[in-house]
Amino acid sequence: MASELQDYIAELQDYIAAGRAIDADAREIAALALQQVDEAEQAEVDAGWDETIDRRLDELMSGEVAPVSGRETIAIARARSAARRR
pLDDT at 73: 94
Number of other residues whose CB lies within 10 A of the CB of residue 19: 13
Q: Mean pLDDT, to the nearest integer, of 12-28?
A: 92
Angle, to 10 degrees, between the axis of helix 24-35 and the axis of helix 2-21?
Answer: 130
Q: How confident is the model at residue 1 (pLDDT cuts 50, 70, 90)?
A: low
Average pLDDT over the chain reads: 91
> At a CB cut-off of 8 Å and minimum separation 6, what does 45 contact?
37
pLDDT digits (tens, 9 = 90+) for 39-57: 888 899 999 999 999 999 9
